[in-house]
Structure formats: C-alpha cells, structure tokens
Amino acid sequence: MINTRLMFCFLVLTTLVVIKESVSIHKNRQSFFFLKNYNLNSTFDTCVHSTKRLQRKNAKGQNILSTDTTKEGVKVLNRNKNTDFEKVIDRQITKESNTTLNEILKGVDYKNILVKENYINPRPFVNIDKKKNMSTDFNIYFENNKLEEYILDIPISKEELCMLYEDMFLGRMFENLVAKLYYVKKIKGFVHLYNGQEAISSGEQIPIAVGLGYSILYKKEFNITDNQAINIFNNLTKGNVLDTKGGVENVNVTSNTSGDDDSGSNKENVPDVDVVVCFLGDGTSNIGQFFESLNLSSIYNLPILFIIENNNWAIGMEGSRSSSNDLMNNYNKSMAFNIDTYKVDGNDVLNIYKLAKKKINEIRKRQSGPVLIEAITYRTRGHSLADPDELRISEEKVSWKNRDPITILSSYMKKQNIVQDSYFDDVKKN
Amino acid sequence: MAAVSGLVRRPLREVTVRDAINQGMDEELERDEKVFLLGEEVAQYDGAYKVSRGLWKKYGDKRIIDTPISEMGFAGIAVGAAMAGLRPICEFMTFNFSMQAIDQVINSAAKTYYMSGGLQSVPIVFRGPNGASAGVAAQHSQCFAAWYGHCPGLKVVSPWNSEDAKGLIKSAIRDNNPVVVLENELMYGVPFEFPPEAQSKDFLIPIGKAKIERQGTHITVVSHSRPVGHCLEAAAVLSKEGVECEVINMRTIRPMDMETIEASVMKTNHLVTVEGGWPQFGVGAEICARIMEGISEKLVLEYSQAVVNIMYLNTYSIKRLKARSGQTTTLNLSCVQFPGCSCCSCHWC
C-alpha cells in the first residue's frame, strides 16, 4: 500500500515536473529569436557579452533567459530550422551572409571615387617645383638608419663643427649662470632652462641665420652672437621686462606670410621671408591650434618647418599619460595632413644640422611644402627651477646623461682628429 | 563692379551699410598692395553676408582668401602676416566665433607691441557682425564690445550708419594698431544718405571721437551700433511732448570719447545709456561709473539712484523718465523683466 502510494506520488511529481519543464522550454524557445542576432553559432564560446546576458537573474533568483548553454542545447536549437525566417536570420549571422551589401560594394573602387583632379583645390600660394623621389619612404626613422642614407650627401666643414660646439657650450654656460642667479634672487619670475636640449636649437638656428627667417622659440633660448646673449643677461638682472626677447611663455603661433612669391614682384617693402621655423614641445602637440595650423599650412603649401622637441615630459605629465599616440611617435599627427615628416635623434647635432640644412634649402627654393621634424631629447633639469622633478626615475636621468649632446660632439671631434685637445679647454676659458 | 554699382543703383545717394563697407575695403585694397582679406566664405561665395561681393573677382586668390573652419588657425595666420609686414583684414563670420580665436586677438595681437618694447607692431583689423540678429539664439547674439573694450592694446570701433562704416573701416585699415570693428548684421541692408565728402577715397573718421547725432537740452542718450537708430526714433517721439534728447553716437568704444559725453551731461544733467550688451561690467556701466566718479561733483545731485541697467530701450521707459524730469539723476535704465536675458530681439522688453 505504502509502496504504491509512494510510487503514485512519485509518478505524479515526475509528470508534473516534465510537463512544467516542457512548457517552460517551449515558452523560452520563442525568446531565443532575438538572440540570433548575437551570432550564437560561431562565436558562442568566445562571446562573453552574450553569456553574461544569458546568466542574468531576476529578483527571485531565476534566470531571466533560462537557456541551455551546453552544446547539446545549441544542437536542439539548430535542429528545427525549417522555416524561412530562421534561414534568413542564419544567413545574416554567418560570414557568408550580407550578400546584398557585398554585391553592391564589389564593383566600387574606393580610391578612385574622390580623385583630386576632379576637385578645384584651394590654390596654393607657393608654386612648388616638387620632384618627388618615389623611392624614399614617407617617413624616415633614425632607428632604421635610413636617415643617414638620406643626408649622406651633405658635407660639414671644420668651421661649422666648431661653430656648433661653441654655440652649444655657450648655451649650457648661460643656462647654468641663469640658474645661479635665480638662486641668489637676482632674477625673478619663471625660469625654464634648456639643459640637455641644446643640440636642437643650435642645429636649427644656424641654417636659418644664413638667410632671413622668423623663428618662434619654445623655451627661453639664447641668440647666436655673444653680444645678444650679454644683452639678454643684462636685461634679466635689471628686471627690465620690455626689452626681453625670445619670450618666456609658450608661444605657438603659425607665423607665415602669403607674401612669398616668385621673384620679379613689385613688393619691395615687404620683407621676403624665406622660411619659418616653429618650435614646440610634445605636450603642446596635443593642442587644437597645432592641428589647425598643420591643416592650413598643408593646403596653402606654406614654407614652414615644425619642430617637435620630444622630451616625453610636460612638467609632470608623461607622454603616455597625456598623448594617445604611440610613445615617442608624435610625428603621426602630421602624416594625416600629407606633410613630410622626419624623426631624428635630438641629441646628435650633426644629424639635425644636416637634415635642417637640407630641408631649409629645399623650402627656400620652393621645392618642398611644409615639413615636420620630431627630435627625441631629454631635459636634464626640471621643467623650471621651481619644479622639484620627483616624478622621473633617477635611472632614466642617469642613462640620458650618457647621451649629452656636447659630449657626443666632442667625442666625435676627437675621434676624427678634427681639432686638437687644447681646443676644448680654450672654449671653456673664452 | 560692386563699389560703383552701389552708387549707380541708388541715384538718390542712399547707400546701404553693406555697400559702404564694400566700398571702403575696395578702396583700401586698391590703394595698398599689402592689404588682404581672409575669412570664411569671403572669396568665391561673395561673403557670408555678401559684404565682400565682387572683391574676389577683382583682386584674385592672393588678396581675398577663403579659409577652412579654423578660427584660431587663420587668426594666427593673420597675426603672423601682420607681424611680417602685411596688413590683413581678418573676418569672423560673427564675433561669437572670435571666442575660438580670442587668444590670438588678445595675447598675440594686442599685447605684442607692449611686450616687444615698441619694436613689433601688428597692423591688423578684425571685423565682423556683432551683437543680436533676428532669432539666432543665445550663442550667436552676444555683444563683444565690453570684452574687447577691456583689453589695453586694442582699439575697438562700432559703426552705426553707412558713413560711419566706410570711414571707420578705412581708418582702421590705415592704423598701425590692432583694431576690432564691430558691425551689426541687421544694419547691413539699411540704406542711409551718403554725404558728398564720404564718397571721396580719402574719407576717414578719426578713431576716438564720438558724434552728436541730434542736439538737445533736456537729456543725454548715449549708445553705439544699432541702438542709435532706436534712440533717434524715441527722441522723435519725445520731442512732440516737449522733451529734447541729445543723442550721441559713440562710434569708438576704446579709446572712449568721454569729453563729448561729459560736456553733454554738464549741459543736460541727465544721462541714459543704451546698448545691446549685458548690463554687468558693460559699456554703459563704464560710462556711468566715469560720470559718477568724474564730473558728478560739478553737477547738482539731489539724489543718486542705484544703477539699473538697460538692454532694450523703448519709449515707455523714457516717458517714465520724463515724469521725474525735475530731478537730476544718472540712470542706466535696464530691462528689469528679464535680467540676464541674452537679447535675441524677441521684443519682450
């Protein structure tokens, strides 16, 4: 008696459970239709998003979508695909699908839709006599040693080497003197020093000085002649704001003229500016004004040379935290505007000098449009004298001291036996 | 050509403000090769408001330059060109867009002469429509007279009629300082009589002098740009009731001509300022403050009222003033109903 009753209860319960489960499966099968958009067939195992959705639970603790996540369950779903609706949905999920869209796109050649010849471009102000050497890369990396091949043909004389050395040495001495005076409180305000980066300014200023040009400087930099340096020095000690040139602030102005035209014009009173050089840092290469000026210089073919002095630090912001581009690769920003870009080792004066000479000559002869050069350097001091410089690791600083531009140049000069050893001592005294 | 057609079309010598500016720029472009115009849609489109119509066809691509939509970029280009020796005219589509380039206008253009110790001058002109237009909403209706008038190193100019426009833009282009010319879009199509002196090629209006548009004895009304017309209408209405208003057209906002205003207030003992800008820290507030601190001791003050600022003057408020005409006060009346309303000319006040 008890057994039969037990058996009866057992049977009733099992039937109820079976019925309940079958009903629930049937109900929930209908809710699977929208899941087909998630491409269950091929990416089921790897689609984390959809599995998490499937595991969501309501207030009672039951799965909102009570799906069978095993492979057998999927096989059950796949078995009854007889209707047209399901076939269509399946086609959309698989990779062979989207036939309609692919058929339309097959015959289209994207590159030739927008051909430049069909558009009336804004006419450039400078007619460039560009003979593009198609074999050279668009961008030259110093890591791949292609830069040296590119600038092999430019000679440097002994006098130029000495001029470069003296220029850099003067700069280093000047900056150290300014620091001393600041600590004795003879100079007030902000003092941003340039130790470690002298190669860039020396390498660029000298080719410019040969002809006319405007250069807007980023940090406080010295001028080439001794007299001018002494003038600045005097002005700083007197605290005479009006006479300081080469401003202390971060000036990033696209100063260029539309008055550069071919010879034979009647513009005698307009100064014929050959080339403009604009220095900026890696931090300011993120500002909107920079991109606008790249765009404008590219469409008008302006004779401008941008130089990014990349020392990877903007006061306390490291490059990877502030810029979304790859580390130490700020040149990508100008490639988007079809500007010739180059990347250089900023502590090697000779490379910078040769490249700058070559590019500035090309721009002067109007054989090239705007150019961007990215120079990788390091600043040995902090951003300013008020900067404690705690965020940079000491190992980093030590490793870069080995790449000091002055020592690199002096060791090169010694090896090549260009000058005698006494030359360096003489420079120190004078 | 556009410069001549303005005269030919109107034999009564009535010239719109638009044609006056066009004539002024045309004459200066012809006179000096260093002058050039750049801005958005100035060349092939004949100007967003057709102010530079016909100039591109006459002078070509090198003098009239279309720029892309980068205000800071092309304002920087213009400032650099001015530093190098050219004389650019930088057009903003409205002065609200000059906020994108305000660093170039103030830090690069206005402060350079001082910071270089007098060595580097920037002979640039920034021009464009300023203030409210018809239903363009808050972001395109701001008046920048107070913002630019605050900055030393800039000259700020605000013409009303076509004679003002032509004379001021010519003197702005010939000036070696950075000048901001605040025009008004609603005035572009309004014709005015052109006196014969204004038709000459050397017609200049000195920057820093105001003009008394209408003589009067009872009350001084000071304004600049479009509200000058409203003041003259109100004055006409009031003169029928016996109140004679003296209407002063400021013409320049920086450097401000306080002598004219002070002389007028000494005569009438009543002052109302009318402008299209916001009341706090505005042009009207500055005029009232200078009068209060300056010559108010010489005037007989029976009581001084708190400064209440005006945005849009209508005849009813002047009538209220007339009711108190026996008292000597300085008032800068305001549209109290909507304080802080950016005037989009909805005419609610």
Mean of pLDDT values over B301-312: 36
Task: For A234-254, give one letter per residue: b (16+ CB within 10 A) or e.
Answer: ebbeeeeeeebbbeeebbbbb
Chain A residue with the nearest C-alpha to that of B63: A258
- Three-state secondary structure of B237-271: HHHCCCCCEEEEECCEEECCCHHHHHHHHHHHCCE
Which of B36, B77, B79 is facing A296, going by the closest CB pair? B77
Catalytic residue of the set B27, B28, B140, B230: B140
Q: What are the structure tokens assigned to B54, written together? A: 């016909």
Where is pLDDT greater, at A229 or B157?
B157
Residue type at B64 in one-letter notation: I
| Number of residues assigned to chain B | 349
CA–CA distance, B315 with A214 (Å, rounded to integer):
57
Q: Is B347 a catalytic site residue?
A: no
Phi then psi for B94, rounded to 5 degrees? -140, 160
Contact between B35 and B29 (Cβ < 8 Å): yes
DSSP annotation string for B112-168: HHHHTTTS-----EEEEE-S--SS--GGG----HHHHHTSTT-EEE---SHHHHHHH
CA–CA distance, B212 with B222 (Å, rounded to integer):
9
Phi then psi for B70, rounded to 5 degrees? -145, 90
| Number of residues assigned to chain A | 430
Neighbours of A375 (CB within 10 A): 27
**Interior CA angle at A243 toward A238 and A247, to 5°?**
105
Q: Which residues of chain A have pLDDT under 70?
A: 1, 22-149, 186-193, 202-273, 430
CA–CA distance, A368 with A132 (Å, rounded to integer):
9
- Of the listed ranges A159-163, A388-392, B248-252, B304-308, the one predicted with least confidence: B304-308
Would the pLDDT of B226 be above 80?
A: yes
Give how far B115 is from chain A: nearest CA, Å.
6
Measure CA of the first residue to CA of the last residue in chain B; give whole Å. 43
Where is pLDDT greater, at B275 or A391?
B275
Q: Is B71 a catalytic site residue?
A: yes
HSE, side-chain direction, 13 A CA sphere, residue A151: 23
Residue type at B206 in one-letter notation: P
B187 Cβ partners below 8 Å, 6+ apart?
Answer: B17, B160, B161, B225, B226, B229
A169 Cβ partners below 8 Å, 6+ apart?
Answer: A406, A427, A428
Token match 């927008």: residue? A114
Would the pLDDT of B180 be above 50?
A: yes
Do B108 and A253 count as a contact with CB atoms less than 8 A apart? yes
Would the pLDDT of B149 be above 90?
A: yes
Q: What are the structure tokens assigned to B289, written together? A: 């403050």
Do B67 and A296 count as a contact with CB atoms less than 8 A apart? yes
CA–CA distance, B219 with B265 (Å, rounded to integer):
8
Give how far B177 is from chain A: nearest CA, Å.
18
| B73: chain A residues, CB-CB within 8 Å | 254, 289, 292-293, 295-296
- Tell the burial category of B349 from Cβ atoms under 10 Å away from its Cβ (0-12, 13-18, 19+): middle
- Tell the burial category of A42 from Cβ atoms under 10 Å away from its Cβ (0-12, 13-18, 19+): exposed
Q: What is the pLDDT of residues B54-111, one digit of tens each?
A: 999 999 988 999 999 999 999 999 999 999 889 999 999 999 999 999 999 999 999 9
pLDDT of residue B158: 96
Which of B70, B114, B115 is facing A295, going by the closest CB pair? B70
Confidence tier at B232 by pLDDT (50, 70, 90): very high
CA–CA distance, A124 with A126 (Å, rounded to integer):
5
| A289: chain B residues, CB-CB within 8 Å | 72-73, 76
- The whole-angstrom distance between residue B137's C-alpha and the CA centroid of its chain comes to 21
CA–CA distance, A399 with B20 (Å, rounded to integer):
67
**DSSP at B222:** E
Q: What are the structure tokens assigned to B125, written together? A: 């002109």
Neighbours of B283 (CB within 10 A): 27
Q: What are the structure tokens assigned to B129, written together? A: 């429509």
Do A253 and B80 count as a contact with CB atoms less than 8 A apart? yes
Would the pLDDT of B222 be above 80?
A: yes
| A245: chain B residues, CB-CB within 8 Å | 116
CA–CA distance, A174 with B103 (Å, rounded to integer):
32
**DSSP at B199:** G
Find the helix or strand (DSSP H, E) in which A399 lies: helix A394-401
CA-CA distances (angstroms) from residue A398 to A335, A386, A401, A403?
33, 21, 5, 9
Give how far B185 is from chain A: nearest CA, Å.
28
- Of the listed ranges A28-32, A199-203, B120-124, B128-132, the one predicted with least confidence: A28-32
List the B125-129 sheet strands across, edge first. Answer: B64-66, B35-39, B87-91, B125-129, B179-183, B155-157, B252-254
Would the pLDDT of B261 be above 60?
A: yes
Mean of pLDDT values over B310-339: 39
Do A288 and B72 count as a contact with CB atoms less than 8 A apart? yes
| Bond preceding residue B255 cis, omega within 30 of 0 | yes
Contact between B81 and B88 (Cβ < 8 Å): yes
CA–CA distance, A196 with A201 (Å, rounded to integer):
11
- Has this prediction a pTM greater than 0.80? no
| B61: chain A residues, CB-CB within 8 Å | 123
pLDDT of residue A416: 80
Name the maximum alpha-carbon separation found in chain A. 125
Contact between B213 and B249 (Cβ < 8 Å): yes
Average pLDDT, chain B: 83
Do A255 and B62 count as a contact with CB atoms less than 8 A apart? no
Do A270 and B116 count as a contact with CB atoms less than 8 A apart? no
Contact between B265 and B222 (Cβ < 8 Å): no
| A259: chain B residues, CB-CB within 8 Å | 34, 81, 84-86
For an interface test with B, which of A123, A232, A238, A253 has the most B Cβ atoms less than 10 Å from its Cβ? Answer: A253
Where is pLDDT greater, at A22 or B222?
B222
pLDDT of residue A272: 53
DSSP annotation string for A301-329: T--EEEEEEE-SEETTEEHHHH--SPTT-
pLDDT of residue B143: 92
Collect all residues from A whose CB is shorter than 8 A from any CB in B.
Answer: 122-123, 125, 214, 241-243, 245, 247, 253-259, 261, 266-267, 269-271, 273, 276, 288-289, 292-293, 295-296, 299
Which of A258, A270, A292 is facing B62, going by the closest CB pair? A258
pLDDT of residue B164: 94
pLDDT of residue A204: 67
Residue type at A311 in one-letter notation: N
CA-CA distances (angstroms) from residue B34 to A184, A257, B61, B120, B173?
49, 11, 14, 17, 11
CA–CA distance, B249 with B214 (Å, rounded to integer):
9
Which of B36, B70, B116 is facing A292, going by the closest CB pair? B70
Catalytic residue of the set B27, B28, B71, B91: B71
**DSSP at B305:** P
Chain B residue with the nearest C-alpha to that of A212: B84
Would the pLDDT of B152 be above 50?
A: yes
Phi then psi for A301, rounded to 5 degrees? 55, 50
pLDDT of residue A161: 83
Q: What are the structure tokens assigned to A403, written together? A: 């790449």
Contact between B330 and B288 (Cβ < 8 Å): yes
pLDDT of residue A35: 46
Residue type at B167 in one-letter notation: G
Where is pLDDT greater, at B260 or A257?
B260
Token match 């195992």: residue? A45
Chain A residue with the nearest C-alpha to that of B82: A257
DSSP annotation string for A101-164: HHHHHHT--GGGTS-GGGS-PPPPSS-------TTS-SEE-TTTTHHHHHTTT----HHHHHHH
